[in-house]
Structure 1
Amino acid sequence: MRAAIVAHDFGAVFSLARDLARISYSKIAAECDIKPERVGTLARGQGRITSFEKIATIADALRIPGHLLGLAPRDWEAATGPGNNAPTASARTSPTTRGGSETVLRREFFRATAGAGLVLGLPELTQIQTGRQIGRDVPDQLRQRTARLRRLDDVLGGGDTYRVYLGEYQATKTMLREGSYTEETGRGLLSVLSEQAQQAGWAAFDTGEHADATSLYEASHQAATQAGDTALAGNALAFLAYQKINTDRTVGIEIAVQSCGTAGPDAPPGVRALLYGRLAWAYAAAGGADETERALDAAETALSEDDGTPQPDWAAWDGNGLQIMAGRCWTELRRPIRAVPVLEGFLSRYDDTHARDKSLYLSWLADSYLTAGEIEQATATISRALELSAGVASVRPRQRLAPILHQLKAYKELPAVTDVLEKARA
């Protein structure tokens, strides 16, 4: 792991930090405790950073999360932990959240480094695979690699991550097809393949490639079934239900119910909570308030059974995830009195660096404000969502905001509404 880190080209990172995040070389030098001339030399492609301690210092200075570098969580991110989607107040004071423009620039920086293949701590597939004999530890190595790459979805949209995730999926397919391995290792590889297909499918869905998403979810379900991984098989069905609910609510509900049954009562609590949460969304989209509440209660019950046993990384769902899902469901059911407090409470502590997701959640809050007749609050919330979604490589925020903006046109005589409609056009 350390070899992968110290071989990294930090000169490229410094160059991108200057060009995209507008962090000057002198500032990089000061914050990273490197001589200014050394920064310039590295940026010209000469030399490497070989000190493990120096790499940690650079991670802190540029606010590169530890999980992207193969490091332990940094002090400034330790409060959230991998997979936690609700940073604490201390995390919210990081430089990435001190202004909308800086947030966007930081996001551009991460996008560029990801696109350039600068994800640290990830062994190359050629290093994982020795010839054509696949060792028994390879599935776990690939699973760890997949978990690290999943963090890119925290700050980037599917338009930026789809090809990265699809490449991982295709590489594992090749390994399964051409490699030699035991039956147990083969099942492990199939399980990883299913997880990678879901990751790529989600990115495809996020960028509007729905046919690709469906194909990948179906491939994920097939691989998970072959591997005997009922939790992943259930999650693949939940993804399919989430997509289907937009075109056929009855079928979407049927698939969502099937997903919970496939995972079964012995699935980890986080998995069951995640699947029941998605079932609640399917019921809410169909207008079933009682069914929605029962599904949300089932999700909460599942979470209460968590005894601290490690959950699958892809199912890192906690009370925060359930809270935002409940807010979304009550918004969909036109119950603003129940939705608004939940959404406001969650969003007050949700970090701006999760720009795509936060803009989506703000859209549900704006929707509930509008339902309640609170036009000024709806307008201000939409304005913030538009700012956060600027430059995000995802079609979903604008799709969510479009019908809300259309409703808002009925109040265009209000100056604030006129301003936000103009902002949306721009």
Structure 2
Amino acid sequence: MTGHEPPTALPRELLERPDVRSALATHDFGTVFHVARTEAGISYSMIAAECGIKPERVGTLAKGHGKVTTFEKVVRIADAFRIPGRMVGLASRPWEAPPEDAAPRREFLKTTAAASLAVGLPELSRPSAGGRVGSDLPEKLRQRTARLRRLDDVLGGGDTFRTYLGEYQSTRALLRARSYTEETGRGLLSVLAEQAQQAGWAAFDGGRHAEARGLYEASHKAATDARDAPLAGNALAFLAYQELPGDRQAGVQIAARSCATAGPDAAPGVRALLYERLAWAHAVAGNADETERALEAAQDALNEADGAPQPDWAAWVDETELQIMSGRCWTELRRPLRAVPVLETALARYDDSHARDKALYLSWLADSYLAAGEVEQAATVAGRALALSSGVASVRPRERLEPVLRRLGEHQALPAVAEVLDMARS
């Protein structure tokens, strides 16, 4: 196959066009067939011959009627049009260039992320030994922390933990060794709480669970001492997440306490974040009604957003994130008919550059497809998650995929399943 260029191969500029990319992501091949004929001059009869579909069926799909749903047809269409596997939820096809080795990919991401962060990273003038800290230092540190937080968009905790921990330790040493006003001290404690949460998250993501718990507890104390209720609530939300799925009821109680601690006057984005984490705790505990109420509370909080600035540590929570959390919750509650549509819609908008997070979210989609009995589709999605997580220094995508892969093993006679299991082994 690698040496044959089919007559239906689409030009790269068409494949990269936003409307075509969107159609491919949702397996809307009728749109692809229409574009192929009208803009690439590929006849329906040629498409039919290469894709193994009857000509009249090609025309019907191009008019927007019907959908291609079988794994074999998706593969055949991808090969006929030379659509890279990643664009339709498949592993790389044999005719594609060999995937980059994971280590160079990770090093490239680390280097480019560090380079971009270096531009505009607030420079700090540290006071000399025994010197007094200026009132502007907490805000400078907060800006620096926000900037460094962007590393988490592209790198896993295995790569970021030492960086985040170093920032936390530096601020903690400054608090102990320098003098400052009471107001500046509270500001520094608030920043310390943020830094401890970020370092704790990286530790958790890298599989360092004991260190994560210690950092979350330190964050809660610092935020409480700083009288920063939203950050104190967020520290509890992290602790609740850590508690699950071991002690589920304790996780629910801590998550509920996190919402109460932040209070009704917290910024909308903060309340949305804490309520969606409460929803997750209820879902893991099997509490469907409570899950739905928490998701509704998160949506209500988002609806209150009026464009006012949100704390940077909560600014990533938006409609797409809430949709994904909703899909994750319904997956945990074994409601695939509710989970699949919302996850499909949200993930179609979620960029592959957020490889770790998208791989994680795809694992829940694969899980729901399995629960619905759609084994081949589950295998396709699991393969996409495996490909995305390759080279990311996070233990969580593979941990989440393991039970899905084990259940897929019951269907290994299916070609789609055999392919993804072989991919997992390699």
**Could you tell me the TM-score, scaled by structure 1's length?**
0.74
Segment of structure 1 superposing worse, 105-114 or 257-266: 105-114
Taking the aligned partners of 1:387 and 1:284, their CA distance within structure 2 comes to: 28
Q: Where do residues 25-424 of structure 1 align in structure 2 (5 Å cutoff)?
A: 101=99, 107-112=106-111, 119-125=118-124, 127-129=125-127, 132-316=131-315, 317-424=317-424
Give the SS at the match of 1:147: helix
Once the 2 structures are TM-superposed, how far is the Cα of residue 321 of structure 1 from its aligned partner?
A: 1.4
Kept in 2, the 8 Å contact 1:100–1:387? The answer is no
Taking the aligned partners of 1:306 and 1:99, their CA distance within structure 2 comes to: 45
Match of 2:66 in 1: none
Taking the aligned partners of 1:310 and 1:338, their CA distance within structure 2 comes to: 33
Once the 2 structures are TM-superposed, how far is the Cα of residue 229 of structure 1 from its aligned partner?
A: 0.1
Taking the aligned partners of 1:346 and 1:357, their CA distance within structure 2 comes to: 13
* CA distance 1:217–1:423, shift in 2 (3 Å): same
Once the 2 structures are TM-superposed, how far is the Cα of residue 309 of structure 1 from its aligned partner?
A: 1.2
* CA distance 1:308–1:114, shift in 2 (3 Å): closer
Once the 2 structures are TM-superposed, how far is the Cα of residue 351 of structure 1 from its aligned partner?
A: 0.8
**Which amino acid letter does the alignment assign opposite residue 403 of structure 2?**
P
Once the 2 structures are TM-superposed, how far is the Cα of residue 133 of structure 1 from its aligned partner?
A: 1.5
Kept in 2, the 8 Å contact 1:245–1:285? The answer is yes
1:148-189: CA deviation from partner (whole Å, max 9, x where unpaired): 000000000000000000000000001101111110000000
Kept in 2, the 8 Å contact 1:221–1:232? The answer is yes
Kept in 2, the 8 Å contact 1:339–1:365? The answer is yes
Kept in 1, the 8 Å contact 2:382–2:420? The answer is yes
- RMSD of aligned residue pairs (Cα, Å): 2.1
Taking the aligned partners of 2:98 and 2:257, their CA distance within structure 1 comes to: 42
Kept in 2, the 8 Å contact 1:296–1:326? The answer is yes
**Which amino acid letter does the alignment assign opposite residue 202 of structure 1?**
W
* CA distance 1:114–1:304, shift in 2 (3 Å): closer
* CA distance 1:117–1:312, shift in 2 (3 Å): closer
1:219-256: CA deviation from partner (whole Å, max 9, x where unpaired): 00000000000000000000000010121001000000
**Which amino acid letter does the alignment assign opposite residue 381 of structure 1?**
V
Match of 2:10 in 1: none
Larger CA Rg, structure 1 vs 2 = 2
**Which amino acid letter does the alignment assign opposite residue 355 of structure 2?**
A
Taking the aligned partners of 1:196 and 1:182, their CA distance within structure 2 comes to: 21
Kept in 2, the 8 Å contact 1:201–1:214? The answer is yes
Taking the aligned partners of 1:99 and 1:311, their CA distance within structure 2 comes to: 43
Once the 2 structures are TM-superposed, how far is the Cα of residue 111 of structure 1 from its aligned partner?
A: 1.4
Once the 2 structures are TM-superposed, how far is the Cα of residue 129 of structure 1 from its aligned partner?
A: 3.5
Taking the aligned partners of 1:227 and 1:103, their CA distance within structure 2 comes to: 46
Taking the aligned partners of 2:97 and 2:122, their CA distance within structure 1 comes to: 35
**Which amino acid letter does the alignment assign opposite residue 263 of structure 2?**
G
Kept in 2, the 8 Å contact 1:107–1:155? The answer is no
Taking the aligned partners of 1:309 and 1:349, their CA distance within structure 2 comes to: 24
Kept in 2, the 8 Å contact 1:242–1:252? The answer is yes
Taking the aligned partners of 2:313 and 2:117, their CA distance within structure 1 comes to: 22
Give the SS at the match of 2:118: coil
Taking the aligned partners of 1:133 and 1:244, their CA distance within structure 2 comes to: 40
Once the 2 structures are TM-superposed, how far is the Cα of residue 99 of structure 1 from its aligned partner?
A: 9.0
1:188-226: CA deviation from partner (whole Å, max 9, x where unpaired): 000000000000000000001000000000000000000
1:44-71: CA deviation from partner (whole Å, max 9, x where unpaired): xxxxxxxxxxxxxxxxxxxxxxxxxxxx
Give the SS at the match of 2:367: helix
* CA distance 1:216–1:341, shift in 2 (3 Å): same
**Which amino acid letter does the alignment assign opposite residue 109 of structure 1?**
F
Taking the aligned partners of 2:355 and 2:101, their CA distance within structure 1 comes to: 8
Taking the aligned partners of 1:270 and 1:213, their CA distance within structure 2 comes to: 24
Kept in 1, the 8 Å contact 2:117–2:148? The answer is no
Kept in 1, the 8 Å contact 2:122–2:143? The answer is no
Where in structure 1 do 4 or more consecutive aligned residues deviate above 6 Å?
115-118
* CA distance 1:399–1:99, shift in 2 (3 Å): farther
* CA distance 1:117–1:302, shift in 2 (3 Å): closer
What is the aligned-residue identity percentage? 69
Give the SS at the match of 1:369: helix
State how many pairs are aligned.
330
**Which amino acid letter does the alignment assign opposite residue 322 of structure 2?**
L
Taking the aligned partners of 1:169 and 1:218, their CA distance within structure 2 comes to: 13
Kept in 2, the 8 Å contact 1:245–1:252? The answer is yes
Kept in 2, the 8 Å contact 1:113–1:119? The answer is no
Kept in 1, the 8 Å contact 2:117–2:147? The answer is no
